[in-house]
Structure 1
Amino acid sequence: MDFIATILFLALVISSTKALDPCGPQPDDSDLLVIPIYGKCSPFNPPKPDSSFNTVMNMASKDPARVKYLSSLVAQKTTAVPIASGQQVLNIGNYIVRVKIGTPGQLMFMVLDTSNDVAWVPCSGCNGCSATTFSPNTSSTYGSLDCGLPQCAQVRGLSCPATGSAACSFNQSYGGDSSFSANLVRDSLGLANDIVPDFAFGCINVISGGSVPPQGLLGLGRGPMSLISQSGALYSGVFSYCRVQVPIAPEYLAFNPNTGAGTIIDSGTVVTRFVQPIYKAIRDEFVKHVKGPFTAIGVFDTCFDATAEAEAPLITLHFEALSMPLPMENSFLHTSAGSRACLAIAPVPNNVNAAMNVIANLQQQNHRILFDVINSRLGIAREACN
């Protein structure tokens, strides 16, 4: 399969790689470490981490808002391919990456989001920002961008005068309870050993609310301001990441560009969501093979005694020219005590597009997910990302 072979020729491979210091800079010049935001390598890891099950449940509590946001994106615009572009932001930051901005490079841990097109970081002197900020005054490659430049027209929430030249300023809301103001600027962006020169991003000067990612956001969407678009020939519009059969009518999974119906792959949603006909078919087949009784825990309505897990059938997601079998660790979550297991799939929330499915990051873990943005292709391969 040519999309799998493409992996061998990637200029940028985003993955969890092995090194002597798993939390230190990676020696491979093609690898960028993707860090779970509550993982041991994250500066945002709480001093007393919760159990893995409770952490997942807490993160999954944001999923309904995330799925509703994604539904609004695909419904408000038409596209010929099932890779939508995000022009809004939502407070879902499950993974971060270590990047360096400026010359010399200043280390920042930015939230990674495949559904957003923008990048922004808190800058020195910012009101309401965290202690870690980017300092433009100490970078020899920093430059401001004014309202007359074409990049400025791509920014949502633009605040420019009708006439004259001024700094390209913009305001954006974030997560429903936060907002920020920023100026569009440019500087070098360091990813592993690669440098993206003159990268345009928002330099935040005011934050209101507590949901804005403390050290910024890096968007990997299809828009002109995303990392993939601005990096040009460096990555050729291709990137991938690797995250640590019931017969169903194909039309439930097919993408409809006019209605937003179909299936998308998202890095910010925790639990895979299927429309009711698909979810019911999976659950009904599942309970035929696994001994009950079944109870509900949070968003999961198919939890059972963990000793019955060996009876569970294999779940496989079928795409055109590709099948994705889900190993047991991608299919179930276990309670903190280990006595109960839950089918790690849920129905689409009632208040969103009833025809849209989301394949989320629990099911993507230990798979290489490849996005060929230029050619609008997707590749999936099993890989031991851990």
Structure 2
Amino acid sequence: MASSADVSVALVAGEVSGDMLAARLLAGLRPRLPAARFHGIGGPRMAEHGFVSDLPMDTLTVRGLFEVIPRYREIKGIQNALRDRLLAERPDVFIGADYPGFNLGLEEQLRRAGIPTVHFVSPQIWAWRGGRIKKIIRAVSHMLVIFPFEEAIYKAAGVPVTYIGHPLAEMIPLRADTLAARGALGLEGAGRVVAIMPGSRMGELKYLAAPFAGAAALLAKRDPSLRFIAPMAGERQRAYFGELLAAAGLADAPIELVDGQSHTAIAAADAVLVASGTATLEVALFKKPMVIAYKVMRASWEIMRHMGYQPWIGLPNVLAREFLVPELLQHAVTPQLLADAVWAQLEDGAGRARLEARFTDMHHSLLRNSSQASADAVMRVITSSRSA
């Protein structure tokens, strides 16, 4: 490619995990396409690589099946407007970073119009909604996958695919420095530390903030020396978290809130209470005991629980193919049950050693140069398109 000045790459990330994934991809692409235009919808990590977001990423963030209904027309309008702009612009490639409900529909329309599409990463069709593979075949020119077992699924379906490893496995050290992390958070000399991670999405906070804080209050009664730290994804989340605790009568819960620093908080912890999602894998890569919680609107839960193909919901358990760590779902997400589960993790020294060994093996299995591998795949798509 003689010059990158006329190259245009469009990307959409709808939440924090997608922002992180796309940023790793951009870290590999930007040196190869120094003058290219990268734009669409994304977050602050993508912006570090010269990405220009046409709308704030929070505009798209929503969680659950029924929770999207009140915002369906708004989000569909954003999708249609973006589609029309991209059909007029005709970028060299469109990359959907996770967020499959939005991105796959957009990709299908763009690919039908001759615009190459890359999806990064695979929807969890191995966990639920396996019928999505039919839409993926229509929508995706190339799939980038981050778990080893996913590659065979797409090869069997005839979808071009590249296993790139998981970016988090590169970002997180094989052995974290707990003492340094505690020092960075002002926890020097503290006793045992529990990280409280109720999620970055407002929907997660709505359902998990109060039971997580209630669990912390119960644990503090068992052991007053325990310290609790909760990283907040942003000012909006921090304010909302505080509002929810006040409404639940838990404004005095013994939880110290910090801005960002989620990895530092995990590294500092002896155990983590965490919302189901990418954060569970982060905790596993830091080799920490955890309790995973998941709660959504009741109607969403009643549908989703009948659509799953496997008994696990947390990524560490999915990858291990067994319940390495406890999962508390929906009606089980109560302060007492959460506190009991976290306490068991804190008190089980032998279990901690077993988890550390299993999570270390998991870390090695996911460790690749994901930035370079994903950039290589995208460059192949761009080059193929331009030579066609």
TM-score, normalization: structure 1? Answer: 0.27
TM-score, normalization: structure 2? Answer: 0.27
User: When you count helix as a share of all residues, which structure comes out higher?
Assistant: 2
User: When you count strand as a share of all residues, which structure comes out higher?
Assistant: 1
Greater relative contact order (Cα 8 A, min sep 6): structure 1 or 2? 1
